[in-house]
Amino acid sequence: MSFDPRDLPLRNPLTLAQLETCLDELLALLPQQEVIQVVDVGCGNGEVLARLRERRLARQAADAEVLGIDPDGAALARAATRHAEIARAHAAAELAEARWEARGWQSEGDASGPWHVAICLGSRHAFGDGPDAASTMVQQLAARLLPDGCLFLADGYWRQPPDADYLASTGLSEDELAPIESWHACFDAAGLQQVHEERVSKEAFEEYERPFWAQGGAHWDNWRRAFERWGRDTMGFAGWVLKRR
Ligand SMILES: C[S@@+](CC[C@H](N)C(=O)[O-])C[C@H]1O[C@@H](n2cnc3c(N)ncnc32)[C@H](O)[C@@H]1O
């Protein structure tokens, strides 16, 4: 059977343990008795929103009213099924209806919000392709938070300046990512305080990549060789929990 990345619980290199640590850090910042408003841009199969809700409900906190935005209708169908299961498991609690919008983020004035939590994990391209996409994402999501709102982001960074041969071999461009300090500066410029950071280890990153390589073919064989030669030491990935200062 062919590999479908939508079968992965998470479509980014954070480990599930790291995801749950971030969610715990996030949930500790949020009101417990009030139903919270949460958006996930590029939510994929809705697993992050599902785990966030399940963790709140397990602590007897009020539910989260979630909105997942993603142009991939098949991923959203999986999300809807997953969240319907949560509602069934908590039938007595009359949970909020999860909302799924099959569309891209509308950078020019997406009217959503304000949010207690805005999430974007591995989906920065929703905010543009150029070198400014990172700051656009951080600024636009921060601007849609409630005064005590939080962000949960995860994205790539350069562990070291990328070798020219690595870029040539993968087709990546140097300005696609930046050192992790650039992310920190970006958070600061958007008036955000970093509450927690999780950096993915080189081993965990490789673990995430392996099922893609296993598909074989020229593209993935080349990607694997480039990862093993340069990428392991060059490309990092991290998750951040941030709150408004
Ligand atoms: C790498 S996956 C990450 C999925 C999920 N956030 C996770 O971490 O498991 C990137 C997701 O971004 C979605 N996407 C692509 N273009 C988008 C856009 N313009 N706006 C919102 N989401 C987009 C894709 O359909 C895909 O589900």
Tell me, what's the pLDDT at 189? 97
The token duo for 113 is: 């919000």
Ligand 1 and 239: CB distance under 6 A: no
List strands edge to edge, sheet with 235-244. 99-101, 64-69, 36-41, 115-121, 145-158, 235-244, 192-199
Residue spans per domain, the chain: 5-159+177-201+236-244
| CB 66, CB 98: distance < 8 Å | yes
Mean pLDDT on 90-114: 87
Tokens 């951040």: give the residue: 240
**Atom 2 of ligand 1 has which residue's CA nearest to it?**
11
**Separation of alpha carbons 9 and 93, rounded Å:** 26
Ligand 1 and 170: CB distance under 6 A: no
For the cut 80, the answer to whether the pLDDT of residue 26 exceeds it is yes
Ligand 1 and 50: CB distance under 6 A: no
Torsion angles phi and psi, residue 225, rounded to 5 = -60, -45
**Separation of alpha carbons 173 and 129, rounded Å:** 11
Q: Is the dihedral of CA 25, 26, 27, 32 positive or negative?
A: positive
**Separation of alpha carbons 161 and 178, rounded Å:** 9
For the cut 90, the answer to whether the pLDDT of residue 92 exceeds it is no
Gap from CA of 23 to ligand 1 centroid (Å):
19
Mean pLDDT on 27-42: 97
**pTM above the 0.85 mark?**
yes
Tell me, what's the pLDDT at 110? 74
Closest alpha carbon to 65 in 87, 81, 85: 87
| CB 223, CB 150: distance < 8 Å | no
Q: Give per-residue pLDDT as tens, 50-62.
A: 999 999 999 999 9
Ligand 1 and 155: CB distance under 6 A: no
Gap from CA of 42 to ligand 1 centroid (Å):
3
Q: Please count the other Cβ atoms lying within 10 Å of the Cβ belonging to residue 138.
A: 27
Tell me, what's the pLDDT at 51? 98
Band of pLDDT at residue 112, cut at 50, 70 and 90? confident
Mean pLDDT on 64-91: 96
Is the CATH number of domain 5-159+177-201+236-244 3.30.70.870?
A: no
Tell me, what's the pLDDT at 130? 84
Band of pLDDT at residue 1, cut at 50, 70 and 90? low
**Separation of alpha carbons 168 and 165, rounded Å:** 5
Band of pLDDT at residue 182, cut at 50, 70 and 90? very high
The token duo for 204 is: 């965990």
Find residue 155's DSSP bridge partners: 238
Mean pLDDT on 180-202: 98
Which residues in 41-51 are b (16+ Cβ under 10 Å) and which e? Answer: bbbbbbbbbbb
Burial of 163 (0-12, 13-18, 19+ CB in 10 A): middle
For the cut 90, the answer to whether the pLDDT of residue 131 exceeds it is no
- Segment holding 142, helix H or strand E: helix 133-143
